[in-house]
Amino acid sequence: MRHFIPQSLIMAEPQLQREVEPQLLNGDDVNEEREDADTSESLKKKRRKKKKSKATAPAGSNEAEGSGPSGGVGDVTKQLEQQTLEDKEREEDGEEDGDEGENSSGKKKKKKKKKKGLKGQTDPPSVPICELYPNGDFPKGEECEYPPSKDGRSAAWRTTSDEKRALDMANEEMWSDFRQAAEAHRQVRLYVRSWIKPGMTMIDICEKLEDCSRRLIKENGLKAGLAFPTGCSINHCAAHYTPNAGDPTVLRYDDVCKIDFGTHINGRIIDCAFTVTFNPKYDRLLEAVRDATNTGIKFAGIDVRLCDVGETIQEVMESYEVEIDGKTYQVKPIRNLNGHSIGPYRIHSGKTVPIVKGGEATRMEEGEAYAIETFGSTGRGAVHDDMECSHYMKNFNVGHVPIRLPRAKHLLNVINENFGTLAFCRRWLDRLGESKYLMALKNLCDLGIVDPYPPLCDIKGSYTAQYEHTILLRPTCKEVVSRGDDY
């Protein structure tokens, strides 16, 4: 029907549309959004028509005036003007569409950026550290300059020496393994602090901690896993206590609990510990031990004598007094507990770092790793073996020893496959499905193949606290690799 409408009516149609459109927009509330889009499209079309009419008017006059060769020039200029106008229109339309796209789909774009970024940790923690840092660039610990030598010479030259930098880079893979294990330790202990409370059984505390630690370290046989059983020694017990199956011990409000656990990557062990209390009356005791540990870390370094570190630790710790239940105690370092050097798959690799004066004059060396740990006590300041044994470890230097008992042979195979020369506990043997192994385990201990490490206790009624960090004596600087925001 539209083909038979007179020309005058056709010319009037756009005008009618212009008059009708505002009425529809004002009257129709249901299709508001659709009409907004239509009006924006019509405005774009009108703009294009105006620009084209402006362009054709001068071009037409040129055609009318020119003839022959000059008419060809007019055609060329007309085409060029039209092309430039079309390009401008495309740019304007592109800008408008881009603005609309950013407003309407801005949220989607942000989501895409998040997906491309690093994976974040969950709550509770479940993402392995190696997946949080897929490029292998794990967070460094606290990097410190070495203390000056006794003649006053600064060790700052190590940080700028090309030779020391090259040595440092040559061992980067080893440092990276330590850092990965340390980051797992930091995240696990942060998680533990969020839920540990009085009324929990020690078994529940240890198993919950170890399950999280296994996930974050991405346990993989002897390549990655737990370095030793979770120590949760309470009050007068200073070290080497973890509950055996059936242990009913419950954490109480007035307890002083030492949480000591380790992680490792390729045998590079992080040995790090802290003390948990709920009653503020123990705050001064914890402050004394934490200060003593940090002092030991500060004075440790290449060519430093181990006995000198012990002397500074004792001096700091004994400067503290603590009042508990109306009685004042001088904080004493536990003289027969020490820090130690750490080797691959070997938690105690030969050197000991005393926490009292009068120890060995052996010096620390470049490239070594140490656990700097201090224990403070309100008791005698000395520990002895007590209570049921839970910690065991295969003797690192043992050679071939003939074993008669078949069950002992089987147990040794289980130990070699799952723990190697790393420490383990009876709960871990239970977890592997082993049963009725106590006689076989005793036989391996009697033969000297496996060493027992029973709990170490001060006198009953006393309180003991512990803080510990792992440090790396790198060629360029000292790195407190297990340092965190907590301690």
Q: What are the catalytic residues?
A: 260, 271, 340, 348, 373, 468
Which amino acid is present at 168?
A: D
* Type of residue at 174: M
Whose tokens are 């003593």? That residue is 292
**Nearest alpha carbon to residue 473 among 142, 146, 140, 179:** 146
Decide the pairing of beta strands 339-342 and 369-377.
antiparallel
Q: Which helix (H) or strand (E) holds 384?
A: strand 384-385
C-alpha–C-alpha distance, residues 343 and 396, integer Å:
11
Q: Which residues contact 245 (CB under 8 A, 6 or more apart)?
A: 203, 426, 427, 430
- For residue 143, the surrounding DSSP H or E stretch is strand 142-144
455 preceded by cis ω (within 30°)?
Answer: no
DSSP 62-79: HHHH--THHHHHHHHHHH
Residue 36 CA from chain centroid, whole number: 51
Radius of gyration of the chain (CA): 38
Q: Is the dihedral of CA 6, 10, 11, 13 positive or negative?
A: positive
Q: How far is CA 309 from CA 207, 213, 250, in A?
A: 35, 31, 37
| Torsions phi, psi for 189 (to 5 deg) | -70, -30
Q: Is the dihedral of CA 8, 13, 14, 20 positive or negative?
A: positive
Q: What spatial distance separates the first Cα and last Cα of the chain, rounded to whole Å?
A: 87
| Cβ-contact 307, 363 below 8 angstroms | no
Q: Which residues contact 311 (CB under 8 A, 6 or more apart)?
A: 356, 357, 358
Spatial contact of 373 and 317, defined as CB atoms under 8 Å apart: no
**How would you label 262-282 residue by residue, b for 16+ Cβ within 10 Å and e otherwise?**
bbbbbbbbbbbbbbbbeeeeb
